[in-house]
A and B are shown apart, each in its own frame.
Chain A
Amino acid sequence: MAQRERPLSPFLHYRWQYTNTLSILHRITGVLLSLGFFVLVYWLAAAAGGPQRYADAVALLGSLPLQLVLFGVVFAFCYHLLNGVRHLFFDMGRGFELATARKSARFTSIGAVVLALVVWFVLRGSLGGIA
């Protein structure tokens, strides 16, 4: 039987829909959070290393480049959290209706930005920023 030539990467050929963006953002934020994990471990290790190490770490995390990274991690966390819960509902077979899926997509995208700003504002004092 002749094998038909099939595309190996169908996701590159579909027309754009909001679902594509949300899905790839879930992966991108997941990768970002994986890097954020190393920041968490660094913070714990610094705390275990004594007051001087901890003060140095807080100063480093408070520097502008690291603050930008931390804001990225906070946004990634908020998006991955909300969209992750959305996916857990999908896994249970719920929320696939077009109207529902669109509504939850909007909630996830707008909610992530709002939540990120709230979390950033609340955590500024403990993520190396000015208390």
Chain B
Amino acid sequence: MSLRSPLGRVLGLGSARGGSSHWYTQRVTAVALVLLTLWLVVSLASLAGASYQQVTGWLRWPLNSALALLLVVVGAWHAVLGLQVVVEDYVADKGTRVVVLTAIKFGFVVAAVVGVLAVLRIAFGVAA
């Protein structure tokens, strides 16, 4: 007799915790970050010694704003997924684990929103 529910079997979701989508998302965000971080490194290299106006001017260009937004969102996403695996492996106590995982998610969502707002503010020219 299987303990899996008929719905779970039909959807092929295994333990119903979405393990494969976690694994897959981790890889997709990894590939995206290879490209996004290379863009960041090349951009920062071109901005060496740049003035404040040059930095905001660079970030205001639509393609740069878009890639910066994606870097912030995808970076936070990848970090949360990765830290989750580390915490799940090394924090044995289930209560502590839930608290730590929730704190990590809150921290990264706040940081990501701050990052997105900062980029938008520059992109729409609110900042000088």
Contacts and interface: CB of A to CB of B under 8 A. Distances in A.
Interface in B78-128: 79, 82-83, 86, 108, 111-112, 114-115, 117-119, 121-122, 126-128
Interface of A: 27, 30-31, 33-34, 37-38, 40-41, 44-45, 47-51, 54-55, 77, 81, 84-85, 88, 91, 119, 122-127, 131
B41 interface: yes
B47 interface: yes
Contacts of A119: 41
Interface residues of B, number: 38
A126 to B, nearest CB: 4
Contact of B27 (A27, A91, A131): A91
Contacts of A30: 79, 82-83, 86
A61 to B, nearest CB: 12
B48 A48 contact: no
Contact of B49 (A48, A54, A122, A125): A125
B52 A51 contact: yes
29 contacts: A30-B83, A31-B86, A34-B79, A34-B82, A34-B83, A34-B108, A37-B75, A37-B76, A41-B72, A41-B118, A44-B115, A44-B118, A45-B118, A47-B56, A47-B59, A47-B122, A48-B117, A48-B118, A48-B127, A50-B128, A51-B52, A55-B52, A84-B30, A85-B34, A88-B27, A88-B30, A119-B41, A123-B48, A124-B48
